[in-house]
Amino acid sequence: MIVAGCGGPESKEKHQKMPPEVPHCRSPVTPQVRFSSPVSPKAPLDQPYQHKHCRGSKNMNFSRKKLIPFLVLILSIISVLRLLRIAVTTSSSSPPFPALTALPPTALRDACSPLSTCSKFPSEKKVPANVTGLREKEYRLLSNLISQKTPCNLLIFGIDPQYVSLSSINAGGTTIFLEDDHNKISTLKTNSNTTRVYQVDYQIPAKEAYKLLKHARENPDCAPSSKLQLSKCQLALKNLPQEVYELKWDVVVVDGPSGSTPDEPGRMAAIYTASMMARNGKITDVVVHDVDRTIEKWFSWEFLCDENLISSKGRLWNFRITGQSNSTNFCPAKTITIE
């Protein structure tokens, strides 16, 4: 029950200066009682005495002030619900993210170890996995290199229509392709008698890269002074056509095999064999493609050496190797330690 009071600033001052008086007001909830009062000449006899409801207006103001925060709260809840509804509608209409395939621990170790096919960090413009071939600036670097050396001996691991056009730049020189995909070989058409294509068989999957690099470091048979065809190094390609071993190569391009998954043949042996052939010549340019992938990057550092890197464009590195057939090390004393 609300107790009515005649409170107010002015009444408080009066109460402080004067003795308290009996209030002539009542609560609005009490029933009206008619009192006899002196008859006023201006008022009718049966008019009841008008009682003041001293706090009626203040109760109304108080209710309004209390109602405003309640309305604000309701409007806020409605706004939040509308935002949630919009978010749910938008997420349901947008295309889902591609599913992530979980790998077993061994596959993750092999695929993402320092010498696997997965990239450590994305480059400025990440190249999708299904994009193959040379970019324009990569092709320009390679075509300029061959134009400066033509006619020359050009060896290419892998085959692509862009590389076929490079063989036409090497007019009067010898171009040999080494490819493991029979379908690519069957669709290739060459118009030069100095361009030849051989099918090779790569046995080592990309997931063996880490183990093979440790083997090459610990085994003296993998040193650059050994004979490639007689080598006992597991990285040596010994079943290539005989003329591949006999010719002195001016340019060697490594863009095969694919090595795009851990179970597919990797380019470990191709990079090692290219480095061995380069050291049997005078000056040989070895060009490695897809160096944004870890196998290509680490094996290039190990067997071609970063101090021999003379130029690069995109995913293409160009190493210039001077013949060092009597050397026991591929690179100077500093090496990359694998734990």
- What domains does the chain contain, in order, with CATH numbers? 131-322 (3.40.50.150)
For residue 14, pLDDT over 80 is answered with no
Q: Is the dihedral of CA 127, 128, 134, 135 positive or negative?
A: negative
pTM of the model: 0.61
**Predicted confidence band at 89 (pLDDT cuts at 50, 70, 90)?**
low
Tell me the pLDDT of the chain averaged across its residues: 75
Q: Please report, to the nearest 10 degrees, the dihedral formed by the alpha carbons of residues 175, 228, 280, 147 taken in order.
A: 20
**Predicted confidence band at 325 (pLDDT cuts at 50, 70, 90)?**
low
**Predicted confidence band at 116 (pLDDT cuts at 50, 70, 90)?**
very low
| pLDDT score, position 65 | 67
In order of 149, 188, 194, 256, the CA distances from 180 in angstroms are: 27, 13, 20, 8
**Predicted confidence band at 141 (pLDDT cuts at 50, 70, 90)?**
very high
For residue 100, pLDDT over 70 is answered with no
Q: Is the dihedral of CA 140, 146, 149, 150 positive or negative?
A: negative
For residue 321, pLDDT over 50 is answered with yes
Q: What is the mean pLDDT of residues 207-226?
A: 93
| pLDDT score, position 67 | 78
| pLDDT score, position 214 | 95
Assess contact for 291 and 297: CB atoms under 8 A: yes
Neighbours of 325 (CB within 10 A): 12
Q: Tell me the Cα Rg of the chain.
A: 45
Strands 316-322 and 283-289: antiparallel
Q: What are phi and psi of 84, to 5 degrees?
A: -65, -40
Digit-coded pLDDT (tens) for 259-305: 999 999 999 999 999 999 999 878 999 999 999 999 999 999 999 99
| pLDDT score, position 253 | 97
**Predicted confidence band at 334 (pLDDT cuts at 50, 70, 90)?**
low
**Predicted confidence band at 191 (pLDDT cuts at 50, 70, 90)?**
low
Sheet (strand 251-254) strand order: 195-199, 174-179, 153-157, 251-254, 283-289, 316-322, 309-313
